Structure 1
Amino acid sequence: MSSSGRKRPNLVAEKRYTKKKAPAKKAAGKKTARKTSKPQKRRSPRKTVKRNPISRLFRWMVRAFWGITWRVSVVFGIMLAIGILYFVSTMPDMEQMVDGRTRGSVTILDRDEKVFAWRGDQFGGMITAQTVSPHLKNAVVATEDKRFYRHFGLSPRGIVGAMRINLSEGRSALSGHGGSTITQQTAKLLCLGVPHDPKQMTEREYEADCRQGSIWRKAKEAVYAMALETKFTKDEILTIYLNRAFLGAGARGFEAASQRYFGISANQVSPAQAAMLAGLLVAPSRYAPTNNLKRSQERSLTVIKLMEKQGYLTSAEAAHARANPAVLSKAANAHAGGYFADWVMSTAPSFLTRETTEDVIIQSTLDQRIQRAAEEAIDYIFTNKVREGSKAQTAVVVMSSDGAVRAMVGGRETRVTGAFNRATQAYRQTGSAFKPFVYATALDLGYNYNDYVRDEPLTINIPGSGPWSPDNYDHKYRGMVTLTEALKNSLNIPAVKVSEAVGRENVRTVAGMFGIQSDLAAGPALALGASESTLLEMTGAYAGILNGGQSVTPYGMIELRLQGDDTPMFGQEGGMGERVISRNAAEQLTYMMHQVVESGTGHRAKLSGYQAAGKTGTSQSARDAWFIGFTADYVTGVWMGYDDNTPLTGVTGSGLPAEIWHETMVRVMDGLPATPLPMINGQPAAPYVGNDSPSRNNQRQKSSNPIENLLIQLFGGGG
């Protein structure tokens, strides 16, 4: 091996120990301090800590709960976001959401084209939170949701407060007050965006489903409310709410309600009016001012207090609103013709009235002055002349001679809607009110008002039933009487004799042509009013007598048109029809009925300064009492009885019904000129001379009239 020439050091083992350094030399004159090393403490072996198993379990549960909670929260947040986005994507524009009615409205005008009744869901047109009266906007917010402009659609404070109130009132936390915000209420009004499908459920079922309060439903409403807040501004949400809220009397939205109750736009309401409208939200039907104005005014005081407390009204403005509460408009206060409006609705096509999806205008024949007259007359009689607590009912119909109905009252409670109408729906026995049609038949066939007929005991054998013996009301017989006297005193036996002589079928035909469409009795009791009819039919039939013998179809609608259109879709259906009896016969019959009022059974109906004609009627066992009569201007029918057919006590057609007729016509005729009745200038009959033969105007002992001879053959000398 080659070498570099340098000597390498010897390899030695690595030293394990180092050399001790020599101690340093001591400094002169100083002692060296001895350093001692501090002894180190020996570490004790690690002790094992025993943990409490309950504590370990608790800490595990906390960690598990937190782990589950944040994961569930994330999932819930994602689902909530998806739900909100879904609802936002399916929501239409605001303008499409303000009118959500499932049916249209019907506005009914009187003969002077003034509004007097509404039916269906009335929508007055769109209003906005920017254009509506600031007082109304503030009243709604103060009453329904004072934090409306600060929350995100839900109000946790409101929900907690509502739960506390529910518990304090003894209910469950979720029953009663809901703490809903205006946004949540809007979600409910929109029914979560689910449209009404008539094929799936009725409108009533649909609205009930929209108002249900299950926990699941409330959860969906909360999501929908947040979606509303996401898509629309606060004022847009309030606009939807103001237009969709139901406020009683068929009014949908504050514009319709303001027009309905005050006759002005919601953009013009005062603080007092705004408070009354906002107060309806809690219970529209209960607080509707047309139902109970005082209750509605008391509720508005609460709203005024809230508006003042929240700074929307000054103390002076609040005091003025309290001192001057809102009142109804003249049209709303009248609230006239509820029965009439219901009847008109039933006579027009259902798809344009009861089931309309359009807004319809109907001009009617109603005269509100005459309507008030009838209502006031009923109130006067039942207040002053009927015993307190009586359940007896009444109905009144007033019409012109052509059948145009001017007023209708279907019961003692006049301010009603949808109630049983005794003027059009109650079929009752007519009693002696039917007798004019018996004499109308005879007069048209040649009889004379002064012809005689004998009032005497009578028995008729009815095949299959046996003998039948009619009797007069007072159980007395008057011998030979004229037809006028027989009608004036409502004698039964002469009416039956005349009916049998002229033929029952002829009487049935004449009555039917005059408008009595109900089934008429087939036997001889037909002449005594054993058949049933409605007051409207009977009054229309009497109108045919007044107009000279032409048939009449009562009507209440002049024309029907869609709102915004000038061309009517339907015109008048009814009025005068074909002739039933001759004009001479009608004028004779009018004279005979005039004598009923002048000195007969209807004398309580007599009017001072006006000629009147009419007829009383009392059915078997006094279950029905009638008076129907007319002046030259109007025909008025009155019925009285019990709904359950209980006999009247001490009441006949010549009593209270005649007095109701009198009180009605005194008010109806007030200020009208005294026009004479269209009747003959009747002369009293000459005294009867002879044995059995009738005398016509005392000119002959035996009649040449074949009808009178038939009476003689059938029933003897009196005919």
Structure 2
Amino acid sequence: MGAGPSYGFFCSFLVEYLGESGFNLEELKIGGYRVETTLDRRITEHAKQAVEAQAPKNTPGVANTMAVVRPGKNAHEVVALVANRDYGLKQEEFQTQFDLPSGVENKFGTGSVYKIFTAAAALEKGIGIDTVIPSPNTYTSKVFKGGARSCPATGEPDTRWYCLSNHNDRYPPQMPLKQALATSPNTAFVILEEKTGVDAVVDMASRLGMRRTMATNIAGVRPTPKAPRDLRLSQAQYYASNANASFTLGPAPSSTLELANVAATIMSGGTWCKPTPVRRVLDRNGRPVELAKPPCEQAVPEKLADALAVGLSEDAKGTGSSSNAARKAGWTRPMMGKTGTTEEYKSAAYVGATPDYAGAVQVFNDGTSPKGICIGSGPPRLCSEGNIYGGTVPAATWFDTMVKVHDGLPEKPLPEVEDRYRHGDTRMSVPDVVGTDVTRASAVLRQAGHQVTTVSVSSPRPRGTVVAQSRKGASLQAAPVTLSVSSGPAAPTTPPPDLASSTAVPPPPDPGRPAAAPPR
């Protein structure tokens, strides 16, 4: 197989993978080995056409990359690695030797795609995909520090609380986790991150598949002892040690291939496998050669992964953030998906999967000028601000590819969700006490570890009956609960006397005033 325009990135990844598996380049050249790869030419051609249709290869400063992986519990086979650029040495023809789809080459981050890891960590801690979580328009954390100058001061020198807002003010004040994954309110996931801790979210990113990515530093390269202070740390060390709440918003460098492999892990019942371009290697005598590679592992419980897949299933439906792209492509199959956009619009991403294929698309600035990316009235372009979103070029690229890839395949459903992961762990829930006596209700809640306060409200229910409570259902930790307690029906008011039937004599007219004029 030659490394032509469509296959160059795959071949580069293949050589790198074989090197990591114990081969050197000279052995590959003269050893007489036969390498059978996992590359699918048909899928690669579809993906290559899609990335170039959305962002032509001669688009200055805008890279469009895609990776497609086949899920499985014994292997995650890489079937396509493409970019709108061609692999090669001729820069004037927009060729590159950077591993755009497989390396940690998007230096600006994936945006809200990383909310997947926060959701997974929260599921592990006890909530369910139907658990209602707060999603205020603005939020100031009293757990995380390191906020911008516009955020409230903590009282410590030069330190501010972490504060943020949603993309717009049209979000409801609370919503189920499943809806939050589809519509992506920023505040909801920082609130979840407070409950899980940043460490758990960072760890989940590595477990589900971002292993090479998390081993690089915040510049997207391998840490070295002589680098400036923060660049000596891996991303895992940097975000965990600083309790950096922005991690859930995906601001750090990332790999398109590893994002696709995250989706493959979720669709494989939580089984992580190192993404492989090799099916088998034979020596000159036709004997199989054993490759040095890590075994697959159960990254998260299968039922958690199943719930996460279903929790991510609304993104392409209704008002989900990729629904427009899905409708335009004619997509109707069950799937999981998540969009992402970085704060300054320098990159955007889309991750999606079916039981058959997992794929990721990242669109990012690969030029020398750190500008945002604008869309509309022609191909994507660099601009002073930016307006690209994960639901635009990235999602359109994904659906354009995957509609063709899945053509002729039987439609497969998503897995069933276990009750524990749908409604949350009942051992960590806030009991529903509406309708019970306040004394008993308070005792039940306190026994479950919750703080209770009461407010009196007028109600037709008997005095002392709980008529409402501030929260119920799954909770990540003991939570304060306010009970609205009936004070009984309001006392009846005395009606005014009926003057027509009254025997009272009206007072005589006031001699100091003129008599009233007769009616006209």
The aligned residue for residue 349 of structure 1 is: 19
Of the three residues 50, 59, 69, the one matched with 1:399 is: 69
The aligned residue for residue 2 of structure 2 is: 117
For the 8 Å contact 2:67–2:102, the answer to whether it is kept is no
Change (3 A) 1:609 1:653: closer
Offset at 1:625? 0.5
Q: Which piece of structure 1 moves more, 530-539 or 631-640?
A: 530-539
Helix, strand or coil: the match of 1:470? strand
Helix, strand or coil: the match of 2:164? coil
**How many angstroms apart in 1 are the aligned matches of 2:286 and 2:298?**
35
1:555 and 2:270 equivalent? Answer: no
For the 8 Å contact 1:451–1:695, the answer to whether it is kept is no
Helix, strand or coil: the match of 1:488? helix
The aligned residue for residue 359 of structure 2 is: 636
**How many angstroms apart in 2 are the aligned matches of 1:637 and 1:593?**
14
**How many angstroms apart in 2 are the aligned matches of 1:373 and 1:337?**
12
The aligned residue for residue 542 of structure 1 is: 263
Alignment-mate amino acid for residue 140 of structure 2:
T
The aligned residue for residue 322 of structure 2 is: 602
Of the three residues 184, 205, 217, the one matched with 1:490 is: 184
The aligned residue for residue 409 of structure 1 is: 82
**How many angstroms apart in 2 are the aligned matches of 1:389 and 1:555?**
30
**How many angstroms apart in 1 are the aligned matches of 2:175 and 2:115?**
16
The aligned residue for residue 664 of structure 1 is: 401
The aligned residue for residue 139 of structure 2 is: 458
Offset at 1:370? 0.8
The aligned residue for residue 612 of structure 1 is: 335
Offset at 1:569? 2.5
1:480 and 2:205 equivalent? Answer: no
For the 8 Å contact 2:430–2:474, the answer to whether it is kept is no
**How many angstroms apart in 2 are the aligned matches of 1:694 and 1:475?**
29
Of the three residues 273, 285, 301, the one matched with 1:565 is: 285
The aligned residue for residue 116 of structure 2 is: 436
1:372 and 2:45 equivalent? Answer: yes
1:274-285 map, 5 Å: none
Change (3 A) 1:377 1:411: closer
Helix, strand or coil: the match of 1:407? strand
The aligned residue for residue 371 of structure 2 is: 646
Offset at 1:639? 0.5
**How many angstroms apart in 1 are the aligned matches of 2:254 and 2:34?**
31
1:680 and 2:417 equivalent? Answer: yes
Of the three residues 503, 513, 519, the one matched with 2:197 is: 503
Of the three residues 626, 644, 665, the one matched with 2:349 is: 626
The aligned residue for residue 246 of structure 2 is: 525
**How many angstroms apart in 2 are the aligned matches of 1:458 and 1:635?**
34
TM-score, normalization by structure 2: 0.65
Helix, strand or coil: the match of 2:113? helix
Identity %: 23
Helix, strand or coil: the match of 1:709? coil
Change (3 A) 1:474 1:694: farther
**How many angstroms apart in 1 are the aligned matches of 2:9 and 2:132?**
44
Q: Which has the higher helix share?
A: 1
The aligned residue for residue 34 of structure 1 is: none
Question: What are the Cα deviations for residues 329-363 of structure 1, in whole angstroms up to 9, with x where unaligned?
Answer: xxxxxx64211011010111388453334333211
**How many angstroms apart in 2 are the aligned matches of 1:705 and 1:445?**
10
Unaligned runs of 5+ in 2: 90-94, 147-157, 215-234, 375-386, 424-428, 436-467, 484-520
**How many angstroms apart in 2 are the aligned matches of 1:658 and 1:572?**
35
**How many angstroms apart in 2 are the aligned matches of 1:495 and 1:432?**
9
1:119-518 map, 5 Å: 336-349=6-19, 352-356=23-27, 357-382=30-55, 389-402=59-72, 403-413=76-86, 419-425=97-103, 426-428=105-107, 429-456=109-136, 457-461=138-142, 462=145, 465-517=159-211, 518=214
Helix, strand or coil: the match of 1:676? coil
The aligned residue for residue 587 of structure 1 is: 306
Alignment-mate amino acid for residue 654 of structure 1:
G
Question: What are the Cα deviations for residues 672-691 of structure 1, in whole angstroms up to 9, with x where unaligned?
Answer: 11111224399xx99xxxxx
Change (3 A) 1:560 1:529: same
For the 8 Å contact 2:85–2:96, the answer to whether it is kept is no
For the 8 Å contact 1:411–1:422, the answer to whether it is kept is no
Question: What are the Cα deviations for residues 697-719 of structure 1, in whole angstroms up to 9, with x where unaligned?
Answer: x9995447551535x59xx99xx
For the 8 Å contact 2:106–2:362, the answer to whether it is kept is no
For the 8 Å contact 1:515–1:541, the answer to whether it is kept is yes
The aligned residue for residue 150 of structure 2 is: none
Offset at 1:477? 4.6
- Structure of larger gyration radius: 1
Alignment-mate amino acid for residue 82 of structure 2:
V
Alignment-mate amino acid for residue 617 of structure 1:
G
Alignment-mate amino acid for residue 256 of structure 2:
L
Q: Which has the higher strand share?
A: 2
Alignment-mate amino acid for residue 396 of structure 2:
E
Question: What are the Cα deviations for residues 461-490 of structure 1, in whole angstroms up to 9, with x where unaligned?
Answer: 516741221111125552121111211101
**How many angstroms apart in 2 are the aligned matches of 1:593 and 1:704?**
21
For the 8 Å contact 1:370–1:407, the answer to whether it is kept is yes
Helix, strand or coil: the match of 2:55? helix
Offset at 1:372? 0.9
Change (3 A) 1:610 1:572: farther
**How many angstroms apart in 2 are the aligned matches of 1:544 and 1:354?**
30
**How many angstroms apart in 1 are the aligned matches of 2:395 and 2:34?**
37
For the 8 Å contact 1:558–1:571, the answer to whether it is kept is no
For the 8 Å contact 2:102–2:257, the answer to whether it is kept is yes
For the 8 Å contact 2:46–2:405, the answer to whether it is kept is yes
Unaligned runs of 5+ in 1: 1-115, 119-289, 291-334, 687-692
Question: What are the Cα deviations for residues 353-403 of structure 1, in whole angstroms up to 9, with x where unaligned?
Answer: 5333433321111111111110121233236xx9x8554111100001132
RMSD: 3.2
For the 8 Å contact 1:604–1:662, the answer to whether it is kept is no
Question: What are the Cα deviations for residues 420-444 of structure 1, in whole angstroms up to 9, with x where unaligned?
Answer: 1211220431210110111111112
Highest RCO, 1 vs 2 (Cα 8 Å, sep ≥ 6): 2
Offset at 1:663? 0.4
Question: What are the Cα deviations for residues 112-165 of structure 1, in whole angstroms up to 9, with x where unaligned?
Answer: xxxx236xxxxxxxxxxxxxxxxxxxxxxxxxxxxxxxxxxxxxxxxxxxxxxx
The aligned residue for residue 49 of structure 1 is: none
**How many angstroms apart in 2 are the aligned matches of 1:610 and 1:654?**
17
**How many angstroms apart in 2 are the aligned matches of 1:527 and 1:619?**
11
Change (3 A) 1:667 1:572: farther
**How many angstroms apart in 1 are the aligned matches of 2:85 and 2:31?**
33
Helix, strand or coil: the match of 2:26? coil
For the 8 Å contact 1:557–1:571, the answer to whether it is kept is no
Offset at 1:574? 5.7
Alignment-mate amino acid for residue 512 of structure 1:
S
